[in-house]
């Protein structure tokens, strides 16, 4: 083990607590996070979005991603119970396609993608109180997997986003035929490194794709308007 690996190991020891189940021998990990951002039973939130944002901050500090999961509605259709789970909760279930109902089914190609889900049981349960506030009534803190190291936190989905400034930058360079990958490399230089950009090359390409799809819907109309303006000039 080299010096860097030893340093990472020591850092990880201080980042989480490890427990071994006597019966199964399985390991469980509990993150060490500041109490001010750690969920606790009885906490109240004005909305579910506020609760989810709070749990996301906790997840990023711990080194994992979270996602919204189960919801339960009452007879009036009002959401009363919501779950927020670790992104590695559950297991991947492959979806079967009825080849008889798909034209040219022999040409369908499936990508062999590995699943990141490992059946992690870490989650919080929230219930809508009579005062229209969501309260945490259950919190499972232990995970069955280790967490992302601090230097790799920016790879987590919750740590990546394309804000308005980046959208404008990508759109502006797109107008002069500079692709999303080159745009990302420019931003990486401007911001001072990959981790400072707050997005990846894939995020930039996805935004450019969505932008092109949006423009495509109105492309014909835009061309017609441009031709009309040119005609009026002459």
Q: Are residues 26 and 64 in the same domain?
A: yes
Task: Identify whether 33 is part of a domain.
Answer: yes
Instruction: Give the CA count within 13 Å in the CB-facing half-sphere of 38.
Output: 12
Task: Identify whether 104 is part of a domain.
Answer: no
Q: Print pLDDT tens along the chain (234 aa).
A: 454 554 555 555 567 888 898 888 889 999 988 888 999 999 999 999 999 999 999 999 999 999 998 888 888 888 899 999 999 988 877 665 555 555 555 555 566 666 678 889 999 999 999 888 999 999 999 999 988 887 788 778 777 878 888 888 888 888 788 888 898 888 888 888 877 787 888 888 888 888 777 666 555 565 456 556 656 665
Instruction: Give the CA count within 13 Å in the CB-facing half-sphere of 71.
Output: 11
What predicted TM-score, i.e. pTM, was given to this entire model?
A: 0.69
Q: Are residues 188 and 138 in the same domain?
A: no
- Distances in whole angstroms, Cα of residue 211 to Cα of each of 143, 169, 173, 205, 218: 38, 13, 13, 10, 11
Task: Identify whether 103 is part of a domain.
Answer: no
Q: Are residues 132 and 75 in the same domain?
A: yes
Q: Are residues 29 and 69 in the same domain?
A: yes
Q: Are residues 38 and 121 in the same domain?
A: yes
User: For the chain, how many structural domains are there in total?
Assistant: 2
pLDDT in tens, 53-104: 999 999 999 999 999 988 888 888 888 999 999 999 888 776 655 555 555 5
Q: Are residues 55 and 19 in the same domain?
A: yes
Q: Are residues 136 and 58 in the same domain?
A: yes
Q: Are residues 22 and 131 in the same domain?
A: yes
Structural domain containing residue 172: 160-234
């Amino acid at each position: 083990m080299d010096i860097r690996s030893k340093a990472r190991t020591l850092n990880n020891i201080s980042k989480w607590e490890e427990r071994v189940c006597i019966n199964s021998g399985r390991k469980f990990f509990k993150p060490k996070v500041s109490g001010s951002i750690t969920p606790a039973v009885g906490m109240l939130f004005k909305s579910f979005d506020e609760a989810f944002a709070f749990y996301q901050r906790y997840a990023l500090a711990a080194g994992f991603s979270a996602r919204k999961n189960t919801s339960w509605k009452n007879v009036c259709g009002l959401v009363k119970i919501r779950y927020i789970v670790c992104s590695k909760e559950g297991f991947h279930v492959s979806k079967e396609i009825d080849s008889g109902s798909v034209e040219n089914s022999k040409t369908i190609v499936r990508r062999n993608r590995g699943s990141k889900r490992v059946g992690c049981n870490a989650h919080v349960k929230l219930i809508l109180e009579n005062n229209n506030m969501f309260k945490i009534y259950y919190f499972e803190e232990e995970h069955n997997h280790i967490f992302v190291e601090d230097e790799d936190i920016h790879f987590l989905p919750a740590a990546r986003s394309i804000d308005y400034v980046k959208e404008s930058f990508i759109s502006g360079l797109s107008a002069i035929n500079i692709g999303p990958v080159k745009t990302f490399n420019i931003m990486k230089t401007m911001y001072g490194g990959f981790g400072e950009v707050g997005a990846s090359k894939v995020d930039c390409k996805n935004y450019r794709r969505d932008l092109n799809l949006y423009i495509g819907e109105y492309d014909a109309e835009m061309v017609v308007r441009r031709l009309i303006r040119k005609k009026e000039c002459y």
